[in-house]
Amino acid sequence: MRGPINLWRLIRTGATFERSGAMSVVLDAVDAPRPVRIAARIIGRPFSFLGYEGDAKMPPVTRALTALGPAYIKFGQILSTRPDVVGEELAAQLRVLQDKLPPFPREAARKAIEDELGVDPDGLFATFSEPVAAASIAQVHKAALADTGEVVAVKVLRPGIERAFRRDIDAFYFAARFIEFVSPASRRLRPVDVIAHFEGVVSGELDLRLEAASASEFAANTEADDGFRVPQVKWFLSGRRVMTLDWVEGAAMGDNAAIDAAGIDRVELSERVLQLFLNHALRDGFFHGDMHQGNLKVAADGAILAYDFGIMGHIDAYTRRVYAEILYGFIRRDYKRVAEVHFEAGYVPADRDVDEFARALRAVGEPIFGMDATRISMARLLAYLFEVTERFGMETRTELILLQRTMVVVEGVARSLNPRMNIWHAAKPVVEDYIKNSIGPRAVVHDLQETAKVIARFGPRLPGLVEGLLVQQTQSGQVAKPSLWPVRLIWGALGVAGGAGSVALVVLLL
């Protein structure tokens, strides 16, 4: 029965956009072609009376997304960081979705704390404020601990949020399957797998114990990073639906006027945002996966303060190297090498032409090098990139969707601080340092050491493994030559030591 229900939800989605006036705003913002506009009108207008009304005080798109629910709000949060795609006006409206959504009552938050921690909040907190920030999944209260007076931030999940997300995810799955059915060409983008990835990410956000663990690990990794701080977790005041951290004070990352008033150099800040993200992704393989302006503040001393660690990304060592080599090739404008890396990593089918792919990549990269950042149309570049991936049969790599999305968001944050920011100039020192340490001779020695460790761990088990394999093949009548056994065992160990990941990473550079 879920099919008809999900179809109904999708009809209401289009109807809500039409009823709120958001449909025309979105189509204008992305400069949609005439056929798309006609199709949207045909689908939306007849059913507009079925759409949610939403809050009439909000701008149209914000009104529609908040009426539709948390999963739609997440999508709006991403777009809010890309004024170069949706325009400055719409991006400013969508920033409300980052931390200024309608809150739920303070007493409901206190009840959730009592249910989760099993203690009366009056015994824990000397003060407990009204909500200071409300986002799609949770809201934050400022409080003072009763025993020490220390000021903390208490994050509480919205009541019923799990059920709301489950409902939206079901509808998204239905839409993805429908798209695959009516458009076989879309299957290379693996829309169902993309939704599955999104579901996994959201599931992690709905358990604040996992977020607390991520915050703790991220703080440990970045402890030595200049100009970057992460609040510490108060474990004894945290659980599945409640998390407590140190309170951080600073100007909102999206408030350029406040940043300027504090005397902070926005040009330097924009480069630092991008460089820190690249460092976390390349050096640590563990990065903040939701780095929009609503999750970042700027301290009085200029340090970037990060919070909200519900979405974190992981990248294995092999993929980090591929990512760095592709990025480094673009920085050097060596498009042939970038193309070769894509083929070597299996991102592009082997039957395609590497030189033709290199020329297509040049068409993506050169406009960014040769044009002032304020004149670059990211919407146009993204559209062209989509054409390139389709032409060369590149499939969506769901294991790195979060890295792709976060890079787009981070660049949007950086350019909101400095529209003329040169992403190549900012990325170059980080990528060069990683290349030097991870792809050169030093890296070869390190890899050999790691491989030796893996083989050594198998040492005590080698006699048993050999005996078991010999017995197995003797029973099947297929005993291998003895001289091949050491080679096969070492090959197996090397396989454990390795690891592979893959993604069409050109989109990260936009």
Q: What's the predicted TM-score (pTM) here? A: 0.69
Give the C-alpha separation, 409 to 82, whole Å: 7
Residue 379 has pLDDT above 80, yes or no: no
Q: Do 70 and 171 belong together in one domain?
A: no
Looking only at the bridges linking them, the beta strands covering 151-157 and 242-246 are antiparallel
Whether residue 228 lies inside any domain: the answer is no
> Each residue of 90-126: pLDDT tens digit?
877 787 776 677 899 999 999 999 999 999 999 999 9
pLDDT at 20: 86
Q: Crossing angle for the helix pair 266-279 and 423-438, nearest 10 degrees?
A: 30
Q: Do 286 and 383 belong together in one domain?
A: yes
Q: Do 55 and 174 belong together in one domain?
A: no
Give the C-alpha separation, 275 to 269, whole Å: 10
pLDDT at 484: 45
Whether residue 332 lies inside any domain: the answer is yes
256-265, 327-336, 466-475: the lowest-pLDDT one: 466-475
Give the C-alpha separation, 65 to 111, whole Å: 28
Residue 237: name the closest of 132, 130, 136, 150 by CA: 150
What band does 231 get if pLDDT is binned at 50, 70 and 90?
Answer: very high
Tokens of 429: 């020192």
* Per-residue 3-state assignment (H helix, E strand, C coil) for 263-282: CCCHHHHHHHHHHHHHHHHH
Specify whether the CB–CB gap between 502 and 319 falls below 8 A: yes
Specify whether the CB–CB gap between 432 and 332 falls below 8 A: no
CB atoms closer than 10 angstroms to residue 293 = 22
Mean local confidence (pLDDT), 349-357: 91
Residue 27 has pLDDT above 50, yes or no: yes
Q: Do 468 and 393 belong together in one domain?
A: yes
Mean local confidence (pLDDT), 381-399: 67
The last residue of a domain, from among 176, 204, 232: 204
101-105, 401-405, 474-478: the lowest-pLDDT one: 474-478
Q: Do 167 and 65 belong together in one domain?
A: no
Q: Do 316 and 185 belong together in one domain?
A: no
What band does 496 get if pLDDT is binned at 50, 70 and 90?
Answer: very low
Mean local confidence (pLDDT), 380-398: 67
Tokens of 432: 């060069």
- Residue, of 374 and 509, whose pLDDT is higher: 374
pLDDT at 292: 85
> Each residue of 275-326: pLDDT tens digit?
999 999 989 999 998 888 888 999 999 999 998 898 888 888 888 888 888 8
Q: Do 9 and 84 belong together in one domain?
A: yes
Question: What does the mean pLDDT of the chain come to?
Answer: 80
Beta pairing partners, 248: none
Amino acid at residue number 175: A
DSSP secondary structure of 91-126:
HHHHTHHHHBSPPPPHHHHHHHHHHHHSS-HHHHEE
Whether residue 297 lies inside any domain: the answer is yes
Tokens of 346: 């299996």
User: Sign of the C-alpha dihedral, residues 405, 409, 412, 418?
Assistant: negative
Whether residue 216 lies inside any domain: the answer is no
> How much of the chain, in percent, has pLDDT values that exceed 90?
30
Residue 240 has pLDDT above 90, yes or no: yes
pLDDT at 364: 78
Residue 278: name the closest of 344, 204, 346, 228 by CA: 228
Specify whether the CB–CB gap between 226 and 434 falls below 8 A: no
pLDDT at 499: 33
pLDDT at 202: 74
Give the C-alpha separation, 230 to 249, whole Å: 12
78-87, 111-120, 234-243, 349-358: the lowest-pLDDT one: 78-87
Catalytic hit among 290, 301, 316, 372: 290
Whether residue 240 lies inside any domain: the answer is no
Separation of CA 78 from chain center? 9
Q: How would you class 170 by CB atoms within 10 Å of its CB: exposed for 0-12, middle for 13-18, buried for 19 or more?
A: middle
Q: Do 344 and 474 belong together in one domain?
A: yes
What is the residue whose two structure tokens read 């090959």? 491
pLDDT at 329: 85
Give the C-alpha separation, 294 to 306, whole Å: 10
Whether residue 212 lies inside any domain: the answer is no
Residue 33 has pLDDT above 70, yes or no: no
Give the C-alpha separation, 243 to 505, whole Å: 34
pLDDT at 503: 29
Specify whether the CB–CB gap between 65 and 72 falls below 8 A: yes
The last residue of a domain, from among 98, 118, 144: 98
Candidate ranges 17-31, 60-74, 105-119, 306-320; pick with highest mean pLDDT: 105-119
- Residue, of 378 and 156, whose pLDDT is higher: 156
Domain range holding 32?
2-98
Specify whether the CB–CB gap between 148 and 113 falls below 8 A: no
Residue 480 has pLDDT above 70, yes or no: no
pLDDT at 487: 39
- Find the distance separating the first CA and the last CA of the chain, reported in whole Å: 41
Catalytic annotation present for 290: yes
Give the C-alpha separation, 136 to 106, whole Å: 16
Mean local confidence (pLDDT), 229-253: 95
Radius of gyration of the chain (CA): 25
What band does 497 get if pLDDT is binned at 50, 70 and 90?
Answer: very low
Give the C-alpha separation, 327 to 331, whole Å: 6
Mean local confidence (pLDDT), 15-33: 78
Amino acid at residue number 161: I
Q: Do 200 and 273 belong together in one domain?
A: no
Q: Do 315 and 397 belong together in one domain?
A: yes
Whether residue 350 lies inside any domain: the answer is yes
Residue 221 has pLDDT above 80, yes or no: yes
Residue 377 has pLDDT above 70, yes or no: no
Give the C-alpha separation, 170 to 108, whole Å: 27
- Count of domains in the chain? 3
Q: Do 168 and 263 belong together in one domain?
A: no
The last residue of a domain, from among 44, 66, 98: 98
Tokens of 486: 């050491």
Specify whether the CB–CB gap between 311 and 201 falls below 8 A: yes
Q: How would you class 462 by CB atoms within 10 Å of its CB: exposed for 0-12, middle for 13-18, buried for 19 or more?
A: middle
The H or E element that residue 427 is part of is helix 423-438
Specify whether the CB–CB gap between 375 and 420 falls below 8 A: no
Whether residue 439 lies inside any domain: the answer is yes
What is the residue whose two structure tokens read 């396989």? 495
Amino acid at residue number 286: F
- Residue, of 206 and 463, whose pLDDT is higher: 206
> Each residue of 484-495: pLDDT tens digit?
444 343 334 434
Buried residues in 190-203 as b, exposed as e (16+ CB within 10 A): bbbbebbbbbebbe
Give the C-alpha separation, 71 to 199, whole Å: 10
